[in-house]
């Protein structure tokens, strides 16, 4: 990629001076040197003069987009698993609280029966 001629929609013609993904550095004819995200800039702002370099950059862009989609999918699945685990824990807590309340109610009823019968249990 280094040495390839490019054109930018705003800065015009230039030449690649450094390429280390995810960055590409371009020196433009007016003397400015700019660094861009690679391969995201290709096709949007940058266009390679050579067809082979443009095709390679396009393949890199497609691969980067695919990896980004896969990463997003993994994050969604992890978020879903965390939400399901939190819901399971809430259900268990609610269940435990209901059981504790039922035991307290049973204990109160037994105590009330005991007091009513004068301390003897049937």
Domain boundaries, the chain: 5-69
Nearest alpha-carbon partner for 3 in 11, 12, 19: 19
Q: What pLDDT is attached to residue 76?
A: 96
Residue 33 CA: distances (Å) to CA of 5, 29, 30: 14, 9, 9
pLDDT digits (tens, 9 = 90+) for 82-111: 999 999 999 999 999 999 999 999 999 988
DSSP at 24: E
- pLDDT of 70 over the 90 cut: yes
pLDDT digits (tens, 9 = 90+) for 3-62: 889 999 999 999 999 988 889 999 999 999 999 988 888 878 888 888 888 888 888 888
Nearest alpha-carbon partner for 2 in 66, 56, 43, 59: 56
């Amino acid at each position: 990629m280094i040495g390839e001629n490019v054109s930018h929609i705003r800065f015009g013609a230039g030449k690649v001076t450094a390429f280390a993904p995810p960055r590409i550095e371009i020196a433009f004819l007016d003397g400015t040197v700019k660094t861009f995200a690679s391969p995201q800039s290709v096709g949007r702002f940058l266009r390679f003069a050579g067809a082979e370099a443009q095709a390679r950059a396009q393949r890199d862009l497609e691969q980067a987009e695919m990896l980004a989609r896969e990463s997003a999918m993994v994050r969604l699945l992890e978020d879903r698993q965390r939400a399901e685990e939190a819901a399971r824990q809430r259900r268990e807590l609610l269940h435990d609280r209901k059981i504790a309340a039922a035991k307290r109610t049973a204990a109160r009823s037994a105590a009330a029966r005991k007091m009513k019968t004068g301390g003897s249990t049937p």
